[in-house]
Structure 1
Amino acid sequence: MPDYRIKTAGPEDVDGARAVMLDTVYRDFGSGYVPRWHADIVDPVRAYLAPVRHTLSVALDGAGEVVATGALDSRGPAHPPNPRDLAERYPSGTTAQLRRVYVRPGHRRRGLARRLVAHLMDFAAADGGYEAVYLHTDPTVPGAEAFWRSLAKAVCDERAEEPGGGQGIVHFEVPMPR
């Protein structure tokens, strides 16, 4: 099994991280790049590296190539499109939102996503200003829902709780490390 290194991304990692993220939205989500949903992918420096309370983590393989990503920012879920009660429960500023936890297919099932999330959770705890860690996932992506259920508590499954199934998204809260 290859040896991987998890680290906070620097400018030298941005192109590789962007490639992992774009490949994922095209391949796994089938949506391709949608500016209103994916603007952070095009400019991860502005979204994650520049703001003090945001971060981008990457997993590098033995050759130093970015093979997985994970990000965290201080924006809670927006309403719309998310349910209003979630936006109220997880307000921006005190909520850390996990984003872009993506692993290239050839590197999956090796614990990279779990290690990236642990790295991001350490960042959230060290910040000191976050009261909750929130994320949402598309359960149609193979393995995504099961992975997040192994780490977090589902707080809203739109498929069952929203009229017409909402967007079909499952929302989670990850326990803050103490």
Structure 2
Amino acid sequence: MDTTGAHEEPGGPGTPGVAGPLAVTASVIVPPAALHWRFSRAHGPGGQGVNTTDSRVELVVRLDAAGMTGPQLDRVRTALAHRLADDALVVVASEHRSQLRNRQAARDRATALLRQALTAPPPRTRKRRRPSRAAKQRRLDAKKRRGQTKSLRRRPDH
């Protein structure tokens, strides 16, 4: 018997906006079978209803069933390593009084986390290096040639 008061429920057709696949990117769509919902009582505002309503939502996204390719899975596992538990991303939402709004918040948060993890890091900026000896010599030779060109433009001394 569960003593925490939490219960589990799949997102069914009667829950608009929270049922169905999780569209992370155009190429990554997490099927509903990879999403697992858990509900429990939330703390905070809500009056007397906070003690009776299971409005706290925990969304578990199983990565092995998320429909991602090998490199995508590796990138997500690396980027979200500190948030993963048993190869699953766990997102909790309890900021709203309504379970439905918390479910939507959890979906939005999971989508944002996965989307951010899947984006490639920006290219590394090149470090400025000290010019090589040959580069210094070429620069000095160019300066000498330029100086000679300018000296030829002068009026000859009499």
Same fold (TM over 0.5): no
